[in-house]
Structure 1
Amino acid sequence: MRLATYLHQGARRCGAVEGDDRILPFPDGTALLDVVASGSVPETGPAIPLADVRLLPPLEPPSVRDFVAFEEHVEGVRKAVDGLSGVPDAWYDAPTFYFSNPHAMVGAHDDVPLPPGCHDLDFELEVAAVIGRAGADLSPGQARAHIFGYTIFNDWSARDLQSREMRVGLGPCKGKDFATTLGPWLVTADELEPYRDADGFLRLVLTAEVNGKVVGRDLLSNMGWPFEDLVAYASRGARLRPGDVLGSGTCGNGGCLAELWGLAAEQTPPPLTPGDTVTLTVEGIGTVSNTIVPGVAPVPIPRARKRTRERP
């Protein structure tokens, strides 16, 4: 089942997507997060054309964790951002993640403003799992039952801001704070079970296009860990809640521009600029397509003052 949140005639609604061209609305006041938490789908009303709605992010997640589960991506983007070669040994030890901004979700076809002060804008092609049942300290075997479904996850990245900020050692910060596309809808986990391979990975084809030209193509099954391992690790010493979003991390083979920059030792293809359209397609889930538009200038903030370190 595919579940969507949308605007129709000025009202925010959610419902079930049927076929390629219509939505069956849930009762007024239904939030998709409530459907995820309850695990039960309400009755639906008369169908409305999909063409008549604006798709919103499927849900407003309580939290967003973004992993880095593709070895090929790490190898390429590390070279572009940090100037270093290879994959850190620590990457193989555990599925590392950082927390992203749950309040910066963008719909499947919404415009994305250029973030303030950014000159090297990039996309990141990912798939996200959405938690349906609360739990902590889960084993990978237990984790599968806690995944409600999957959606496309585009972790937009201001690479120049990211590169500068990460020298402090705290993470991407403003390089990742401004927008994340989630959509076009939430596909329930049972719908993707036919794609699971013998090793337990979801073998989905992922494709990235910029202005209609394919720049990346990979398989979700090239992840270093399946989603169940990501969920189990995230739940270690922490309680996952319904609606929590866990991104796979960017796929390889052109899942973002920075990976290609690192491999080519130059910015080819060039960074995204206003007017560029990024289209991401994941087999079994769907397609999101966002256009970059001009943003605002950064509000000036002075450099830190030098301190005498005077003590009382």
Structure 2
Amino acid sequence: MRFATWSSGGTVRGGVVSDAGLHALPEGTTVLDVVRAGLPAALEVGSEALRGPAVPVDSVRLLPPLQAPTVRDFVAFEEHVEGVRKAVDGVTGVVDEWYQAPTFYFTNPYALVGAHDDVAVPPGSQRFDFEIEVGVVVGRDGASLTPEEARGHVFGYTVLNDWSARDLQAREMRVNLGPAKGKDSATTLGPWLVTADELEPYRDGEGFLALEMRVSVNGEEIGQDLLSNMGWPFEELIAYASRGTEVRAGDVLGSGTCGNGGCLAELWGTRGEAAPPPLRPGDVVEMTVEGIGTIRNRVVEGVELPPVRPARPRPRARTRTA
């Protein structure tokens, strides 16, 4: 089943997607509410919604499928790490620590955008980039889960574009903290949330989802990969995220960017030049993940702000002065 959230005439509704269009959930019920109720209950309420009238998809504005309380983004594709490290840090290869355990950062849940929304260039950035990923949505609360337990905590999946200001990111990560503003401006989720049962036929013999991922800019294909090239399956990412703490229903965990052109920075690193060039206003980025759907966002001008003031000379006073 596919769940969506949309806006029409100033009203926001959650609902279920069919070939006929969008079928609203009971008024006041959000997709996050449905996720928190658990997958069996969600399928039941979704089946009931499908009996109602349908609204054409192209007559509404698609919003992120759910308002995620938290968004963790992992870096689970070895090929991506290799290329981006060269582009951002100027160093070849993958650090040994990447292989030892999954790594993630928390991104901004207030910056989630819909499948067809415009995306503004972050203030001060000249090297704007995309990242094609798949996001898994947690369907049950849990703490210190095993990977086997975590599989039962998967509600479903959505396409995720982790928009990235590479120049801001490069400065931040040289401080050994980040990314921060390099990843803070926008994350696309959509077009809908596909329940886990729909994608089980794509699972390979090692437990990975062998979904084809494609990304294009202005109609020209830039990258293509399989989601099954991840270093860890989603169950292990959820288990790691819950290690010594908890995950809650509605949390989103990104797979990290696929390889083979899943972002521009990977290509800049492997080619040694900014080709294709950074994103500019007017560019249209389209991403398709097999079994889930397509998101398409246009890049637009961002706000112009004064330069950030540098730190003052470091004081060394140990007592107050008059």
TM-score grouping bracket, smaller chain normalisation? over 0.9
| Identity among equivalent pairs (%) | 66
User: Does residue 47 of structure 1 match 2:54?
Assistant: yes
Q: Which residue of 1 aligns with 2:310?
A: 303
After superposition, what is the alpha-carbon deviation per residue over 1:41-72, rounded to whole angstroms, capped at 9, x for unaligned?
32323111111111000111111100000000
Q: Which residue of 2 aligns with 1:28?
A: 27
What secondary structure does 1:37 align onto?
Answer: helix
User: Does residue 268 of structure 1 match 2:275?
Assistant: yes
How far the C-alpha of 1:299 sits from its partner, in A, is 3.1
Q: Which residue of 1 aligns with 2:9?
A: 9
Q: Which residue of 2 aligns with 1:127?
A: 134
Unaligned regions of 5+ residues in structure 2, if any? none
Partners of 1:147 and 1:207 lie apart in 2 by 24
After superposition, what is the alpha-carbon deviation per residue over 1:200-230, rounded to whole angstroms, capped at 9, x for unaligned?
0000000000000000000000000000000
After superposition, what is the alpha-carbon deviation per residue over 1:280-309, rounded to whole angstroms, capped at 9, x for unaligned?
000000000000000111233321111331
Q: Which residue of 2 aligns with 1:142?
A: 149
Partners of 1:158 and 1:300 lie apart in 2 by 16
After superposition, what is the alpha-carbon deviation per residue over 1:143-186, rounded to whole angstroms, capped at 9, x for unaligned?
01101000001000000010011111101110000000000000
Pick the aligned partner of 1:153 from 160, 165, 171: 160
User: Does residue 247 of structure 1 match 2:254?
Assistant: yes
What secondary structure does 2:214 align onto?
Answer: strand
Q: Which deviates more from structure 2 when the two are superposed, residues 219-228 or residues 24-33?
A: 24-33
Partners of 2:268 and 2:178 lie apart in 1 by 20
User: Does residue 181 of structure 1 match 2:180?
Assistant: no
User: Does residue 73 of structure 1 match 2:80?
Assistant: yes
Structure 1 runs of 4+ aligned residues shifted over 2 Å read: 298-301
Partners of 2:156 and 2:227 lie apart in 1 by 15
Q: Which residue of 2 aligns with 1:278?
A: 285
The one-letter code sitting in structure 1 at the alignment partner of 2:110 is H
Partners of 2:305 and 2:158 lie apart in 1 by 32
The one-letter code sitting in structure 1 at the alignment partner of 2:17 is V
What secondary structure does 1:87 align onto?
Answer: coil
Partners of 1:191 and 1:200 lie apart in 2 by 15
How far the C-alpha of 1:138 sits from its partner, in A, is 0.4
What secondary structure does 1:7 align onto?
Answer: strand
RMSD of aligned alpha carbons: 0.8
The one-letter code sitting in structure 2 at the alignment partner of 1:9 is G
Partners of 1:237 and 1:219 lie apart in 2 by 31
Partners of 2:306 and 2:185 lie apart in 1 by 15
Partners of 1:125 and 1:298 lie apart in 2 by 28
Unaligned regions of 5+ residues in structure 1, if any? none
User: Does residue 226 of structure 1 match 2:233?
Assistant: yes
Partners of 2:115 and 2:144 lie apart in 1 by 33
The one-letter code sitting in structure 2 at the alignment partner of 1:84 is V
Pick the aligned partner of 1:86 from 71, 90, 93: 93
How far the C-alpha of 1:10 sits from its partner, in A, is 2.0
What secondary structure does 1:168 align onto?
Answer: coil
1:90-109 alignment runs, 5 A limit:
90-109=97-116
| Aligned residue pairs, count | 311
After superposition, what is the alpha-carbon deviation per residue over 1:104-126, rounded to whole angstroms, capped at 9, x for unaligned?
00100000011100000000000
The one-letter code sitting in structure 2 at the alignment partner of 1:34 is D
What secondary structure does 1:169 align onto?
Answer: coil
User: Does residue 292 of structure 1 match 2:299?
Assistant: yes
Partners of 2:129 and 2:308 lie apart in 1 by 24
